Structure 1
Amino acid sequence: MRRKLALPLALVAAVSVAATACSSSSSSGDSSGKETQNTAKVASSVTDYNPQPYENLKDGGTYTTAGTFDEQGNPFNVNGTLNALRIWSWYNADAITYSPTGEVQYNPDYYSDVKVSVEGGDQKVVITLNPKAVFNDGAPIDWRAIEATWKANNGSDKEYAASSTDGYDRITSVTPGTDAKQAVIAFKGVNASWSALFTTFLHPQAATVENFNKAYVKTAHPEWGAGPYTVGTWDAQSGNITFVRNPTWWGRKGKLDKRVYVNLERVASINAFKNGEIDYAPVGDAENLKQVKAVKDAEVRSGGSPFEYALYLNTKSPFLGDVQVRKAVQKSIDRSQITKIRFQGLDYSEPLPGSAVLYSFQQGYQDNVSAVLKYDPQEARKTLDEAGWKPGSDGIRAKDGKELELGYTLLGDDPVEKAVSGAFTAMLKAVGVRLNVNKVSSNDFSKVLSERRFDLFISGNRSTDPFGARSLCDFYCSDRDSNITGAGTPELDQEIRATGDIADLGQQIEAVNKLEQKALQQYSLLPLYSGPSTYGLRKGLANVGATIFYSPLPETVGWQK
């Protein structure tokens, strides 16, 4: 599943995956997760998070970072973001996680047993839920939670603003098994990536249309949650959040006394880290890296993580409704120059990303972008000429009395991102397009996307599971709310959805690669970069850092003995 990033781009760029040309997803680091040499070639397959077993952690302590809740706190909602998922995971179920390289890990505190079978070409998954598992309000966690999650996300009721229906829409039923603590999930056909559908789940009361869409807006519902931690304070005014140990938790207790999020802007967060006020700071540029390295009792952790950033073109805006204009815009973008600006001073390089759904360290990856598009300003000018856009005396093109003028939406005031917007402005001006940079607050991220308040906009996504091929529809299907460009056709939608019928993951990826090349010819989305995953952390903080697909369980995060 892909989650949109809802932090200022400069901040989240620090924690993005290094998309490199590795042929597989096996780790290239030593047992500690530390990378050894040649960062640019191995970073994507390296973890660096001080992995420690539960018994090696101290009891007590506080872990504080910069962060806050987003407007939509339900991660299943189309407006749910990576922030929403992170916050959610501290007071809701983490039932399925993945190893750094993507192997499925069932959490026995929720799923005592999982059996998968195929009969007559159709898959059945039987989940036995832990008999002790209850929501914080006392309601049992049983088959109804699985059913509620399926019904809210399967697309049958269009009133649900679901992030993605893929996979859920192939479930034909969810029923009780031997008792209420067993959920029997029946699929039409085979879904090899089914585990990504139920990594967490909804309380049945949270799964009504009204609550799914609105209950978590700028607020939490700890009574519908479960886990080793629950909400201590949730300050709607400051944006600060504190999680404390959950007295109703039946599993291993959380090692921390408190998990604290403090609402800080990027510059303030770096200063807070230097002053010892927070324990973790993403490192997004050379200056931040220099400052973090100088902090006493701190260390830098760097490795891979599955993030990717792309330039989105709003096909519903007047001039970008023309595919030839979009094509010319993309041909005028020198992605290598953008990455030089983005990674300046970080001693880092990476191949340009070739897909929106797969990373170059994953098996089956292909460079689909290069198969469709190459940087060629001269060809961009020719395309605009043929589309009837003629240069004026100032070089800006016009047609039917209107100049070719686009807007670029810039979140926040980070100098690196200002430099990126300046580069876009110069590149487009060179082919006769005027670009106006419109600065907005980083707090407006969700509105920019949901209301399409942009012509051009950079946004990032993080994969929360290794099954990227199933996300193709999220980016390119015309009827999917998550497709923020508005591009696509019903015919392409049908072809994309047909890839979900392919049971073999290798064959599915092959089909997805072919269709992504076709989808990229809409010229609505241009993958730009991934980047290094680099953090400053207090020494001794365990199970935090660059983890690729791995999300450590909350009770395993803490301070090393």
Structure 2
Amino acid sequence: MKRHGLLLPCVALAAAIGLTATGCSASGGAGSSPAGGPATPKTAAAAVDYDPQPYADIKDGGTYTTAGTFDDQGNPFDADATLTAARVWFWYNADAITYSPTGAVQYNPDYYSHVAVKVTGGNQVVTLTINPKAVFNDGTPIDWKAIEATWKANNGSDSKFNASSTDGYDHITSVTAGVNAKQAVITFKGADASWPALFSTFLNPKAANVTDFNTAYLKKANAQWGTGPYTVGSWDTHSGDITFVRNPKWWGKRGKLDKRIFVNLESTAAVNAFRNGQVDYATTGDAEGLKQISGVKGTTIRRGGSPFEYALYLNTKSPELSELPVRKAIMEAIDRPQIARIEFQGLDYAEPLPGSGLLYSFQKGYEDNVAKVITHSARDAGKTLDADGWKTGADGVRVKNGKKLEVGYTLIGDDPLDKATAEAFVAMLKPIGVKVTIRTVDESDFAKVISTHDFDLFLSGNRSLDPFGQRYLCEQYCSTSPSNITGAGTAALDKQIKAVSQIADLTRQIAAANKVEQQELKQYAFLPLYSGPSIYGVKNGLANVGATIFGTPLPETIGWQK
């Protein structure tokens, strides 16, 4: 399952995944902290808080309702899919490999009854023995052909598939049947230590042709191609509401819930619905939201670390941002600690500035690559523009060849905190002669903005669905990657990225990925800003829901504690 393609708008930190988030001063770096707030730790928070309970301690029955809806593209393997696609997919498709909160791999025996990994002649062979009972809802056996179909749709051999990431899939030389059809033998060229991310879920072979891969899940469910303890009960394309019910064709542990319901609500309405008892949890990333979801009768606050990272994206295909010096100057002018102060005000929370788009500071091998490339300095930003021929006009806006340096900032929704952040960017760039105009669009237009690259400056985020950040180096930065929404990169850097993907040793691969990321950051198109805490207001008794970091409690374990 892809990581970096799962983009989400800034406001989505307050509607995060429910699988179980101005003055210009010198940069504060990793030691900075919000004024008057807690001291900044050396690493981001890795705490969890989700009321973990064993299956036996969950009541039979009940309904679990949250805000959320389907997105334009419901196939999470597709480059146009967002976090919403993965969230909904989770409830009616295979969850064959999941992770503990710290990132340990967990094989689901309802799908993979045995997993063997060996290296022969320098090439890794993964053998997946599939549960003999496993079957898709349409009667198609879950066997080696599902693994093969998923590989072929995502390995890049047919560019007509709008695949989010070919990373890892393109290192597989074959997928064949083993001792029988219920065993898939996956052979790699070299080795891939993060292979579990490739087959944490899989496609029904009937959905793995180009047409269905790209279009069959557009605002539509295909329950017949799914599998798992739950299936689609209703999918209202008018209201956007979705209801999942127990799957009568499921062979594993029975789902504890009678119904799992998503209701289509914007973030503000979702908080009000939580306060009124209409939904069972609400999330937030700001002080006002925390105030709104706190103290609600019969609920508790759960908070922990975050598998999110929010970043500023610069569209290199925009005429105003096509020049690298302009992008460099904009990044030099961005006061990241100030953005953190705005985002975390009133939360009693601090974190080091994120230094990578690949790993989090609490992960082994993480390096602060941003600090090695970008230094905040409005004075240096001005010099960068001066050297590129941009002269300050009478109105304070830079001019070159008769054209003013004006860029747009695309703001999703009407959240007050997001507006404050947008206005901060305007204020930071004004002193260096860059005029920023804020353009507000509806939350429902988020996917369209991403897929059509309809922005100059854009703040968005990613949720990590697995702990193998280095394997998404190409998805994030390759110039040909559909998920690289900035359009930055070069053929030479693409070649370096491909070389990193060939490194079998995980430690060496991460070290090499850090070096390449530093070169990619010199394209000045992607600037990590913050992660933030995961904060949930949850009804008392709702188990296996909340701040899990990498953890993914299986859907049949989610429900109400006895």
TM-score, length-scaled by structure 2? 0.95
Structure 1 partner of 2:138: 137
- Return the alpha-carbon distance in structure 2 between the equivalents of residues 137 and 483 of structure 1: 35
- Return the alpha-carbon distance in structure 2 between the equivalents of residues 103 and 344 of structure 1: 33
- Return the alpha-carbon distance in structure 2 between the equivalents of residues 315 and 404 of structure 1: 14
- Return the alpha-carbon distance in structure 2 between the equivalents of residues 475 and 7 of structure 1: 15
- Return the alpha-carbon distance in structure 2 between the equivalents of residues 90 and 487 of structure 1: 35
- Return the alpha-carbon distance in structure 1 between the equivalents of residues 168 and 120 of structure 2: 18
Q: Cα offset for 1:44? A: 2.0
- Return the alpha-carbon distance in structure 2 between the equivalents of residues 40 and 262 of structure 1: 37
- Is 1:499 the counterpart of 2:500 in the alignment? yes
Query: Per-residue CA shift, 1:443-463, capped at 9, x if unaligned?
Result: 111111111100000110111
Q: Which moved more, 1:224-233 or 1:474-483?
A: 474-483
Distance 1:267-1:282 versus aligned 2 partners, 3 A rule: same
Secondary structure at 2:372 match in 1: helix
For 1:187, the aligned partner's letter is F
For 1:446, the aligned partner's letter is A
Secondary structure at 1:514 match in 2: helix
Equivalent pair of 1:232/1:244 in contact (CA under 8 Å)? yes
Structure 2 partner of 1:404: 405
Structure 1 partner of 2:344: 343
Equivalent pair of 1:154/1:168 in contact (CA under 8 Å)? yes
- The within-5 A match list for 1:354-433 is 354-433=355-434
Figure out how many residues of one structure are paired with residues of the other and give that number. 545
- Return the alpha-carbon distance in structure 2 between the equivalents of residues 167 and 157 of structure 1: 15
Equivalent pair of 1:14/1:535 in contact (CA under 8 Å)? no
Where has structure 1 moved over 3 Å in runs of 4 or more?
3-8, 13-17, 37-43
Equivalent pair of 2:43/2:352 in contact (CA under 8 Å)? no
Structure 1 partner of 2:491: 490
Equivalent pair of 1:14/1:533 in contact (CA under 8 Å)? no
Structure 2 partner of 1:323: 324
Q: Which moved more, 1:370-379 or 1:497-506?
A: 497-506
Structure 2 partner of 1:168: 169
Q: Cα offset for 1:11? A: 3.3
Secondary structure at 1:44 match in 2: coil
Query: Per-residue CA shift, 1:159-207, capped at 9, x if unaligned?
Result: 0000100000000000111111010101000001011000000000110
Structure 1 partner of 2:34: none
- Return the alpha-carbon distance in structure 2 between the equivalents of residues 80 and 416 of structure 1: 26
- Return the alpha-carbon distance in structure 1 between the equivalents of residues 532 and 15 of structure 2: 7
Equivalent pair of 1:44/1:303 in contact (CA under 8 Å)? yes
Query: Per-residue CA shift, 1:361-395, capped at 9, x if unaligned?
Result: 00111100000011100000000011000001111
- Return the alpha-carbon distance in structure 2 between the equivalents of residues 39 and 559 of structure 1: 36
Query: Per-residue CA shift, 1:29-74, capped at 9, x if unaligned?
Result: xxxxxxxx99967862111000000000000000000000000000
Structure 1 partner of 2:54: 53
- Return the alpha-carbon distance in structure 1 between the equivalents of residues 119 and 480 of structure 2: 31
Q: Cα offset for 1:492? A: 0.4
For 1:474, the aligned partner's letter is E
Q: Cα offset for 1:305? A: 2.6
For 2:281, the aligned partner's letter is Y
Cα RMSD after superposing both structures: 1.6
- Return the alpha-carbon distance in structure 1 between the equivalents of residues 9 and 356 of structure 2: 23
Which segments of 5 or more consecutive residues in structure 1 lack a partner in the other structure? 23-36
The alignment-based identity, stated in percent, is: 65
Distance 1:79-1:39 versus aligned 2 partners, 3 A rule: same
- Return the alpha-carbon distance in structure 2 between the equivalents of residues 317 and 8 of structure 1: 20
For 2:79, the aligned partner's letter is V
Equivalent pair of 1:134/1:141 in contact (CA under 8 Å)? yes
For 1:47, the aligned partner's letter is V
Secondary structure at 2:371 match in 1: helix
Equivalent pair of 2:11/2:412 in contact (CA under 8 Å)? no
Structure 1 partner of 2:13: 12
Q: Cα offset for 1:476? A: 1.1
For 1:220, the aligned partner's letter is A
Structure 2 partner of 1:221: 222
Distance 1:105-1:418 versus aligned 2 partners, 3 A rule: same
Structure 2 partner of 1:333: 334
Query: Per-residue CA shift, 1:129-165, capped at 9, x if unaligned?
Result: 0000000011110000000000000000000000100
Structure 2 partner of 1:436: 437
Structure 2 partner of 1:113: 114
Distance 1:498-1:13 versus aligned 2 partners, 3 A rule: farther
- Return the alpha-carbon distance in structure 2 between the equivalents of residues 138 and 329 of structure 1: 55
- Return the alpha-carbon distance in structure 1 between the equivalents of residues 85 and 451 of structure 2: 15
TM-score, length-scaled by structure 1? 0.95
For 2:359, the aligned partner's letter is L
Distance 1:469-1:3 versus aligned 2 partners, 3 A rule: closer
- Return the alpha-carbon distance in structure 2 between the equivalents of residues 400 and 260 of structure 1: 56
- Return the alpha-carbon distance in structure 2 between the equivalents of residues 192 and 498 of structure 1: 15
- Return the alpha-carbon distance in structure 2 between the equivalents of residues 516 and 6 of structure 1: 19
Which segments of 5 or more consecutive residues in structure 2 lack a partner in the other structure? 22-28, 32-37
Structure 2 partner of 1:460: 461
For 2:110, the aligned partner's letter is D
Equivalent pair of 1:14/1:532 in contact (CA under 8 Å)? no
Secondary structure at 2:328 match in 1: helix
Q: Cα offset for 1:5? A: 5.0
Q: Cα offset for 1:10? A: 2.3
- Is 1:210 the counterpart of 2:211 in the alignment? yes
- Return the alpha-carbon distance in structure 2 between the equivalents of residues 4 and 69 of structure 1: 16
Distance 1:137-1:458 versus aligned 2 partners, 3 A rule: same
- Return the alpha-carbon distance in structure 1 between the equivalents of residues 284 and 424 of structure 2: 22
